[in-house]
Amino acid sequence: MTRTRTVLRLVFLALVLIGVASTPIAGRYARATGFVLRAAGLHGTWQDRIARFQNTTVRTSDATIDARVGRVRARIYRPAIVRGRTLLVTGGVHAQGIDEPRLKKLARDLAVGGTPVVTAEVPDLLQYRITPNLTDTIEDAAAWVAAQPALAPDGKIGLFGVSFAGGLSIAAAGRPSIRDHIALVLSFGGHGDIDRVMRYLSTGIHPNGATRPPHDYGVVVILMNVADRVVPPEQVAPLRTAVTAFMNASHLDMVDKAAAQREFTHARELQVTLPEPSRTLMGYVNDRNVKGLGAAVLPHLTGYANDAALSPDVAPGVRAPVFLIHGADDNVVPAIESRLLADRLRGQVPVHLLITPLITHAEVDRPSSAKDIWRLISFWYAVLNT
């Protein structure tokens, strides 16, 4: 991180030289730089100074949204000084929903810079399920936010989806009920075609024939979705319970190693209680055996191809500018997904594509060059000022 900190210090000095305090454009670049610094969690004399540039206080409140799947939880991050339009931010596949720590940090990092944020809980994502209900819920939440005068004075908002919610947000943005109320849509590590991603996660083969070992997280999510196709009906619920224990442990592993180890142990204890074939499948999960699990689920990937509700690449109806950002080495949703989606959308809407080595799947956490950092800042400048 030392090199990254040095480069960002130089970026800060350059912004000072062009007149951060005196010109609106430079000020907006400074706020974009500040967001990147906050998101990356970098600290130091200069980094902290620019990360705090024109920051404002943030008030949070909870709300509920009536959606087709029922009432869903939402959280509103209201900056005292508003400097941009409201973003509806949807996190990825995670059981904690709007309480997930990284999502909360992202929302606050945006809000302290003056961007109002609403996070909405999508029930199927909490259960690691990829279904058309996801896009319906994002659509319903967007309609609700856009109808709030305090959040959308001009009736327009931005959609921001992380991981699998990225492609789903683009699919939702093209729906007739809300597309005229969407000013921009951002996919952070998202997909263009869900069937294509699932096949990569099961085989490690990209659409262009290149190979790269996929992360085990993705193929475990697939197992949750096809469990009713690979085991007898009476085994579906117990298998999903065991897999959920493993997923919970994986999330805990980022914040509490001791608690994570206890939950990993619990997942292995559940494995031995399962009958076959669930026991073997859970063994693949616990051993992070991507090859074995991928081979087991691959024959059951039916019903996802050509589904416009899950894949914006199928029939994009979006009219707003689309921003696509992806980690160059992402092995959950590969970066080629954003490249292919950008090719599909160009000529229909303005498309801003950034494939960067600075992020992994959906986190800004990699050191790199000044050029890469400036591209990242410029990307967020465009997002925050659209």
pLDDT per position as a tens digit, 103-113: 999 999 999 99
What is the reported pLDDT for 31?
86
Q: What is the pLDDT of residue 95?
A: 86
Positions of the chain with pLDDT under 50: 1, 17-18
pLDDT value at residue 15: 55
pLDDT score for 17: 45
Q: Percent of the chain scored above 90 by pLDDT?
A: 73
Q: Are 245 and 266 in contact (CB under 8 A)?
A: yes
pLDDT digit string, tens, across residues 204-259: 999 889 999 999 999 999 999 999 999 999 999 999 999 999 999 998 888 889 99
Half-sphere exposure of 374 (CA within 13 A, CB side): 9
Share the mean pLDDT of the chain: 90
> Residue 124: its pLDDT value, please?
93
pLDDT of residue 6: 53
3-state secondary structure the chain: CHHHHHHHHHHHHHHHHCCCCCCHHHHHHHHHHHHHHHHHCCCCHHHHHHHCCCCCCEEEEEEEEEECCEEEEEEEEEECCCCCCCEEEECCCCCCHHHCHHHHHHHHHHHCCCCCEEEECCHHHHCCCCCHHHHHHHHHHHHHHHCCCCCCCCCCEEEEEECHHHHHHHHHHCCCCCHHHEEEEEEECCCCCHHHHHHHHHHCECCCCCECCCCHHHHHHHHHHHHHHHCCHHHHHHHHHHHHHHHHHHHHCCCCHHHHHHHHHHHHHHHHHCCCCHHHHHHHHHCCCHHHHHHHHHHHCCCCCCCCCCCCCCCCCCCCCEEEEEECCCCCCCCHHHHHHHHHHECCECEEEEEECCECCCCECCCCCHHHHHHHHHHHHHHHCC
* Domains within the chain, CATH numbers bracketed: 58-193+311-384 (3.40.50.1820), 196-300 (no CATH)
